Structure 1
Amino acid sequence: MSSPQVTQTLSRNHLRTAHRIVVKVGSSSLTAPDGRLDVAALRALVDVLAARRADGHQVVLVTSGAIAAALGPLGLSARPRDLATAQAAASVGQGLLVARYTEAFASHGLRVGQILLTAEDTVRRGHYRNAQRSLERLLDLGVVPVINENDAVATDEIRFGDNDRLAALVSHLVRADAMVLLTDVDGLHDGPPSRPGSRRIAQVNGPGDIEGIEVTGRGSAVGTGGMLTKLESVSIATASGVPVVLTKTSNVARALAGEDVGTWFVATGRRTTRHRLWLGYAAKVRGRLVLDDGAVRAVLGGTASLLPAGITGVEGDFESADPVELVDSRGRVVARGLTSYDASEIPGIMGQSTGALRDSHGAGYDRAVVHRDDLVLVRQHRKR
């Protein structure tokens, strides 16, 4: 993403008045030890969110649990490892899950609207614009959107990987005032929560505050996420101007009241365009362009397009308008962008000036390979 500008620091009290929040709940918070859907836990969460709605605020719920909800009915002892069975379980479980949400919210006089997303819905402009319009209209109508990844049709190549990341992208899509990540531990700790002496970190003001913190990558047996995916989600949200609280599900009411539970992550950046956020975090890259030192400096400056003269190599099999990574001579990723050339065309033009290309190839070959409007810097190379 382009160089962030720090927003006004918001305290936990912001959650008390935040008009629009995105709440993400994981599988481990909604299922019993035997893998079946824990209806009592689901209803307890809905009771809190319904009370929030009754106070005049808007809630968008991103929920895991579809596959976990199908384990019992399908006689499965654990989350399926093969894609076909996982998709089948998601198809069965999603209906069970949304039926329970519909029933629970209806007891408070509220309607829900289900939206299932895949990564393709965030990469293609028409798709994510449609998703944004649908979400806005549901909220205007007083409906609680219930969002999940469309596991029944998603493949390994197009999956978000976890609903934590999806929640962060949705938070930006709907311009949420805050995001709440609910899990089975009360926030980020300075070591594994099970380790004696491990302490909760109450507030994180930026990435430097958690350097060296030991976290695990594995979530529960019924979910796909762990603390690593949650911190990635937090990074996406806070870098685009959305503060986050991470806490255990039983603390959701206290968290929304601004109490000192879980970990409060301060927003570190400003809101950016939806297109740039999707390109920076959701698009699956199809290849790489290797840049010389001059092109790296120009790209990091934030105002230059990538021209053919600055390219020294090309990797992958991609077509025009596909997302690609821009890397330096050591292979470090500098930026991501949408290429205006096919991979097969670039070897014949790289290293040449636009003037020379116009003279030798004709009009049209003097265009940028990646226009600055379709280019975002990655975090590790942002200028300080």
Structure 2
Amino acid sequence: MHFLENARRVVIKLGTGVLTSGSGDLNTEVVEGIAREIAALKMRGLQVVLVSSGAVGLGRGRLGLKQRPKKLSSLQKCAAVGQSLLTELWQHAFEPHGINVGQLLLTREDVRSRKRHLAIRDLFEEMLTEGIVPIVNENDTVSAAEIKFGDNDVLSALVASMTKSQLLIILSTAPGLVDMNGTGEIVPVVESITAQIEAMAGGSGTVVGTGGMITKIQAARLAMRSGCGAFIGSGSDPAIITDLFAGHATGTIFIPSRLPLGSRKRWLAWFEEPRGKLSVDAGAVKALREKGSSLLAKGVTAAEGRFARGEVVSVLGPKGDVVARGLAGFAHEDMKKILGQSSEQIQALYPTRKHVEAIHRDELVLIGR
């Protein structure tokens, strides 16, 4: 495929189930095999970012815990112990190939502010230019619910977007997207993520991981909207990366969008955490999706949360699904005053305002289908 042939920058995400057994023991053979595959890619001139899960699982194994803890502080303890083991594991695996690695531990807070977002992007750029393989993981030792990415599948897609990669490879215990509602076979190619594709996704099937096919589909959608192709395949296949670039790997390939979002709209869509919610009627949804219109207050039925003017809010359709995200044109107090009103009515209330849209179209990005 064209985007595979022209890929120069790749993000590879490895799930906990690939790196460890159910008891948290290291699978060094798999790790060394992935390192060899990445070394081969670098010999071909590709730059590679590795998003590696496994810190909590490794820490759990070292501490002798049979089950994944549910208490946040216990998970953080496992991550603190396991993260150093994970980094050491990758350093040893890449050493025979003369490849340097660098650890990057991220939380959503690190990419929320535009300034910090750009600083991290520049760090990735410098490391990759110098031939260093960044080893990325969520900073589980400090991550609480409000600053978590939620899953390393999502984190890997955000990293692919941030680094302007052409391909995201997600390796896990799953062999690809399986059509459980039809043939029972792996879906080889997905050109767009429809409701039918989403219905094929199930939950996590292991005790060591946090995600499942649902989060992988979410990651693939994010990558596709960023102009990045995605591949989901089994990490137990020692030659899967080589086979993928040779055109005959078993798994599911997701084709990148022909009209990818620009960097600012990618930041609006995925990196910044929404501060509030605007519920809108069916007419507003149609105008946003079919006409590319601004969101007018006339179509807004409710405003939730406390947000300032210029902060990111989610736009919810009549069924509660996220339709769009954007920068609020009014703070939450004012937004509640103008619900359902026409632009003329709002202009009379705020005569000095140049723009009276709830969200201007230049500050809005559509989400989902």
Relative to the length of structure 1, the TM-score reads 0.86
Where do residues 238-257 of structure 1 align in structure 2 (5 Å cutoff)? Answer: 238-249=224-235, 250=237, 251-257=240-246
How many angstroms does 1:345 deviate by? 2.3
Q: Which residue of 2 aligns with 1:167?
A: 156
Q: Would you say the 8 A contact 1:171–1:178 is kept in 2? A: yes
Match of 1:65 in 2: 54
Q: 1:267: how far off?
A: 2.0
1:39 CA drift (Å)? 2.4
State how far apart, in whole Å, the 2-side matches of 1:208 and 1:61 are: 28
CA deviations 1:60-90 (Å, max 9, x no partner) are 1111011111112222222221111111211
The match for 2:357 among 345, 361, 368 is 368
Whether 1:235 and 2:224 are equivalent positions in the alignment is no
- State the distance in 1 between where 2:22 and 2:283 align: 57
User: Residues 347 and 356 of structure 2 are in contact (CA less than 8 Å); yes or no, is this contact kept in structure 1?
Assistant: no
Contact in 2 for aligned 1:169/1:278 (Cα 8 Å): no
Tell me which of 106, 112, 118 is aligned to 1:129.
118
1:17 CA displacement: 5.0
Please give the alpha-carbon distance, in whole angstroms, between the structure 2 residues aligned to 1:265 and 1:329. 29
Q: Counterpart of 1:201?
A: 187
Q: What amino acid sits opposite 1:149 in the alignment?
A: E
* Distance of aligned partners of 1:66 and 1:210 in 2 relative to their CA distance in 1, 3 Å threshold: same
CA distance in 1, matches of 2:114, 2:280: 27
Residues 247-288 of structure 1 deviation map (CA, whole Å, 9 limit, x = unaligned):
112223322332242122222443211222232234433322
Query: Which is worse superposed, 182-191 or 147-156?
Result: 182-191
2:52 matched to 1:50?
A: no
> RMSD across aligned C-alpha pairs, in angstroms?
2.6
- On the 8 A contact 2:24/2:62 being kept in 1, the answer is no
C-alpha spacing 1:15/1:291, structure 2 compared with 1 (3 Å)? closer
CA–CA separation in structure 2 for the residues paired with 1:93 and 1:171: 25
Equivalent pair of 1:234/1:265 in contact (CA under 8 Å): yes
Tell me which amino acid in the other structure corresponds to 1:242. C
Residue of structure 2 in register with 1:147 after alignment = 136
Residues 1:49 and 1:366: Cα distance change in structure 2 (over 3 Å): closer
Q: Which residue of 1 aligns with 2:89?
A: 100
Q: Which runs of 5+ in 1 are unaligned?
A: 1-9
Is the Cα contact below 8 Å between 1:204 and 1:210 reproduced in 2? no
Query: Structure 1: which amino acid aligns with 2:4?
Result: L
What does residue 221 of structure 1 align with? Answer: 207
Distance in 2 between the 1:347 and 1:28 partners?
47
What amino acid sits opposite 1:378 in the alignment?
I
Closer/same/farther in 2, CA of residues 247 and 329 from structure 1, 3 Å limit: closer
Q: Gapped runs of 5+ residues in structure 2?
A: none
> Measured at CA, do residues 216 and 354 of structure 1 come closer, stay the same or move farther in structure 2, by a change above 3 Å?
closer
Question: What pairs up with 1:226-305 in 2 under 5 angstroms?
Answer: 226-249=212-235, 250=237, 251-292=240-281, 295-305=284-294
CA-CA distance at 1:131 after TM superposition: 1.4
Q: CA–CA distance in 2 between the matches of 1:184 and 1:153?
A: 27
* SS of equivalent to 2:147: coil
- 1:192-250 deviations in Å (ceiling 9; x for gaps): 9xx9x832222223335954854321142111111111111112112332122211122
Distance 1:212 1:224 in 2: 18
Deviation of 1:164 after TM superposition, in Å, equals: 0.9
Structure 2 CA distance for aligned equivalents of residues 166 and 183 of structure 1: 15
C-alpha contact (below 8 Å) 2:305/2:332 kept by paired residues:
yes
> Cα distance, 1:152 vs. partner?
1.2
Structure 1 stretch displaced more, 368-377 or 329-338: 329-338
**Greater shift in the superposed pair: 333-342 or 58-67:** 333-342
Identity %: 35
**SS state at 2:145 partner:** coil
* Higher relative contact order structure (alpha carbons within 8 Å, sequence separation ≥ 6): 1
The DSSP-based 3-state class of the residue aligned with 2:146 is: coil
Are residues 301 and 95 of structure 1, via their aligned partners in 2, closer, same or farther at CA, if it must alter by over 3 Å? Answer: same
Q: 1:202–1:260: 8 Å Cα contact kept in structure 2?
A: no
Distance 2:323 2:21 in 1: 44
Q: Deviations over 1:304-332 (max 9, x none)?
A: 33344443322223333332222345545
Mapped contact 2:22–2:208 kept (Cα < 8 A): no
CA contact under 8 A between 1:189 and 1:200: conserved in structure 2?
Answer: yes
**AA partner of residue 147 (structure 1):** V
| Structure-2-length-normalised TM-score | 0.89
